Amino acid sequence: MRNSSSDRTTVKRIPKRGHYDRETIDAILDEAIICHVGFVVDGQPYVIPTGFARVDDLIYIHGSAASRMLRELSKGVDVCVTVTLLDGLVLARSAFHHSMNYRSVVILGKAELVTVQTEKMAALEALTDHFVPDRWKDVRPPTELEMKATSVLRLPLTEASAKIRSGPPVDDEADYALDVWAGVIPISLKHGEPIQDI
Amino acid sequence: MRNSSSDRTTVKRIPKRGHYDRETIDAILDEAIICHVGFVVDGQPYVIPTGFARVDDLIYIHGSAASRMLRELSKGVDVCVTVTLLDGLVLARSAFHHSMNYRSVVILGKAELVTVQTEKMAALEALTDHFVPDRWKDVRPPTELEMKATSVLRLPLTEASAKIRSGPPVDDEADYALDVWAGVIPISLKHGEPIQDI
C-alpha cells in the first residue's frame, strides 16, 4: 500500500483518527467536490475554496491565469490543500463530548504550474469529469485562447493524511444515565433536480 | 449598514461577486456548520476544518487546549477563516464556462484566546446551539475540568468579505446553438434521519 505520511501530516491529537494509506486518502478526494487551498502572502494566510481533481498521484486545481491565488501558487510557494466531507452531527449527553463525523484530507507541498499542453488538457478533462462524470465528451473543448486564459496547477500526494471520525457519541460513563437525547444526525450532500438553461 | 471591507478582502477577480455588508456575511456564517481555519507555522500554511459560531461582531472557534491549531492561534498569529456553502454545479456548453454556485466568506485577523470565564461559557453555548438550535439547555454543561481542557478563541468580523455566484451558466454567444445540456444541478446539505445512541 502506498503511504503518504510525514511528520508534518501525522495526526497528533487523537491519533487513531489518522490514516495514511492512499486508498483511504484517494476515496475522500474522489468523493469531494471542492477543496480549500491555503497559501501565504506577506505572512498572511489565505484560504480559498475551489474545484479540484485527482489523477493518480497528483491533484490538479485550475483557475483564471489572472487570479491572485493562481499567480501566487505558480511561484512554487508552500501550500496546504484541505478536503472535508461532513458526515454527521454527533450529539452527546454533555456539551463537552459533542463532535462531528467527518472525513478530511490535508495535503502539504508546493504546487507547480502545468506547462505541457497535453498534460494541461488532460487535467482540464479530469477537472470537468470530476465535476460531473463523463461531462468532458459532451462539451465544447477549450480553445487556444481559453487555454491561455486558464492556469492549471499540480500538487503531488507525497505528503498527505486523512482524518476520520465516525460512529456514535462517546459519553462519560456517568452521563449515560442522563435523560438527554444522544445520537448522530447524518449529513450528506444532496444533488437536487437539474434546472435546464433554456 | 455595517461594512467589513478592507483592501485585503476586496474581491478583485469578478468584482460583482464581492459583498461587504454584514447582513450578507452574517447570513452565510449563520447557515454554515463548519469553517476552514488557515494559519502559518514555520512558513507552512495549514488549513483545518472545525466548527464555529457567530455572536454579534465575532466568531468563536474552540477545541482541545492541547491541539496544535488552538495553541498556535492563541499566540495571536494572523489567521484566515473561510466558510463555504456550495449551492450548485453550473454546467455550461463549453468546458471553459463550467462553474459553481456558492456563497463564501473570508475573514482575516488575529484570533484571541478567551480568558474571561463568563464569555467562554457563553461562547460554548453559542457553539453548541449553532451546531443544533437550542441544544445547550438540554445537555450537561461543562465541568470546571472540561472548561480547563477547552480553549475558545474569538476573531472579530472587522475584515471580512463574502463572494457569491448564483444563477445559470453564462456561455459564449455562439455556444448557445450547440446541442449540449446546460443548466444548474442544485446542491444542498441534507440532514438525514437521526440515529439514536442507546
Q: Where are the alpha helices (DSSP H) in chain B?
A: 22-31, 68-74, 117-131, 144-149
Residue B193, in any domain of the structure? no
User: Is residue B174 predicted with pLDDT exceeding 80?
Assistant: yes
Residue B51, in any domain of the structure? yes
Q: What is the pLDDT of residue B69?
A: 87
Residue B60, in any domain of the structure? yes
Give pLDDT tens digits for B120-160.
999 999 999 998 999 999 999 999 999 999 999 999 999 99
- CATH code of the domain containing B123: 2.30.110.10
Residue A177, in any domain of the structure? no
Question: Which residues 68-87 on chain B approach chain A with CB closer than 8 angstroms?
Answer: 68, 78-82, 84, 86
Q: What is the pLDDT of residue A103?
A: 98
Question: Which residues 87-116 on chain A approach chain B with CB closer than 8 angstroms?
Answer: 88-89, 91-96, 98, 100, 102, 104, 106, 108
Q: Pairing state of beta strands B58-64 and B53-55?
A: antiparallel
Residue B66 makes CB contacts below 8 A (sequence gap 6+) with: A13, B149
Please tell me which residue of chain A has the smallest CA distance to B81.
Answer: A47
Q: What is the pLDDT of residue B2?
A: 62
In angstroms, the CA A85 to CA A29 distance is: 9
What phi-psi label fits residue B46: left (phi over 0), alpha (psi between -120 and 50 degrees) or beta? Answer: beta
Write down the residue that cell numbers 483564471 correspond to: A64
Low-confidence ranges of chain A (pLDDT < 70): 1-3, 5
In angstroms, the CA B105 to CA B81 distance is: 8
User: Could you count the other beta carbons within 10 Å of the beta carbon of residue B99?
Assistant: 19
Residue B52 gets which letter from DSSP?
Answer: -
Residue A172, in any domain of the structure? no
Binned at pLDDT 50, 70 and 90, residue B10 comes out as confident
In angstroms, the CA A18 to CA A31 distance is: 18
User: Is residue B43 predicted with pLDDT exceeding 70?
Assistant: yes
Residue in A33, A138, A186 nearest the CB of B192:
A186
ipTM for the whole predicted complex goes beyond 0.85: yes
Q: pTM for the full model? A: 0.95
Coil, strand or helix at A23 = helix
For residue A101, the cross-strand partners are A88
Q: What is the pLDDT of residue A3?
A: 67
Give pLDDT tens digits for B11-36.
877 788 899 999 999 999 999 999 99
- Provide the grid cell at B97: 464556462
Region B181-193: what's the mean pLDDT?
97
Asked if A79 contacts B45 with a C-beta cutoff of 8 angstroms, the reply is yes
Domain span at A160: 7-165
Give pLDDT tens digits for A128-173.
999 899 999 999 999 999 999 999 999 999 999 999 999 999 999 9
Residue B25, in any domain of the structure? yes
User: Is residue B38 predicted with pLDDT exceeding 90?
Assistant: yes
For residue B102, the cross-strand partners are B86, B165
User: Is residue B1 predicted with pLDDT exceeding 50?
Assistant: no
Q: How many domains would you assign to chain B?
A: 1
Question: Which residues 107-166 on chain B approach chain A with CB closer than 8 angstroms?
Answer: 108, 124-125, 128, 131-132, 135-136, 138-143, 146, 149-150
Q: What are phi and psi of A73, to 5 degrees?
A: -65, -30
- Provide the grid cell at A122: 488532460
Q: What is the pLDDT of residue A6?
A: 78
The reply to whether residue B13 touches residue A106, judged by beta carbons under 8 angstroms, is: no
User: Is residue B4 predicted with pLDDT exceeding 80?
Assistant: no
Contacts with A183 from chain B: Cβ below 8 Å: 194-197
Residue A2, in any domain of the structure? no
Q: What is the pLDDT of residue B189?
A: 95
Please tell me which residue of chain A has the smallest CA distance to B102.
Answer: A49
Residue A196, in any domain of the structure? no
Residue in A44, A93, A98 nearest the CB of B128:
A98
Q: What is the pLDDT of residue A2?
A: 62
Summary mean pLDDT of chain B:
94
